[in-house]
Chain A
Amino acid sequence: DQQVKQNSPSLSVQEGRISILNCDYTNSMFDYFLWYKKYPAEGPTFLISISSIKDKNEDGRFTVFLNKSAKHLSLHIVPSQPGDSAVYFCAASTGNQFYFGTGTSLTVIP
């Protein structure tokens, strides 16, 4: 039962352009959403989060958008940098249980 889905396994973007990573979820009870970045051989690192009462949260180059009616969230990175190349996971939670998507591998081409 995959409650959080990332349908694009990979994405390539030119340096300086915008990266848009997408995530869909099925459980309307989710009230907190997060994006994590993961490098090989390391644990996921928290990037940005959004509560279900908001539709946008911004932190520097990273912006997360939440569309509750569509059960969709996205992460925008602008401008993209080569150091952003990693696997990005979205996660959703209700209570103390977090559900992760399968990840999108982002490659930023210099």
Chain B
Amino acid sequence: EPEVTQTPSHQVTQMGQEVILRCVPISNHLYFYWYRQILGQKVEFLVSFYNNEISEKSEIFDDQFSVERPDGSNFTLKIRSTKLEDSAMYFCASSGQGIPNQPQHFGDGTRLSIL
């Protein structure tokens, strides 16, 4: 069964540095998402992306965050200047073949640790 893959599985970064989290969604999916889960807390929506642009974003997704689909397969989340509170599991997900309300398929996440 096709799956969403995320790299790296664990990223350790100094505070203030830029970090890029990478995702390869399922190949025929059209909707892409990033979520985060701070340790012990709920999974929080960050952003959804469709047709090469952001379709929705949460209040967490401020100017420090950006997403990109640089080629036909990768979907990246960039955090420009990391803060300690950015430490979390970051999950990428993809869904659908043109219909937004489709189950999302998640990757196994990238654990981001900010020192």
Contact = CB atoms under 8 A, between A and B. Distances in A.
Contacts of A45: 106
B31 interface: yes
A43 B4 CA distance: 10
Interface in B14-48: 31, 33, 35, 41-45, 48
A99 to B, nearest CB: 7
Interface of B: 4, 6, 31, 33, 35, 41-45, 48, 50, 55-56, 58, 91, 93, 100-101, 103-109
A96 B51 CA distance: 13
28 contacts: A32-B101, A34-B103, A34-B104, A36-B106, A43-B91, A43-B93, A43-B106, A43-B109, A46-B104, A51-B101, A89-B42, A89-B43, A95-B56, A96-B31, A96-B33, A96-B50, A96-B56, A96-B100, A97-B45, A97-B48, A97-B56, A97-B58, A98-B45, A98-B104, A101-B42, A102-B41, A103-B42, A103-B43
B41 A44 contact: no
A93 interface: yes
A97 B45 CA distance: 7
Contacts of B48: 96-97
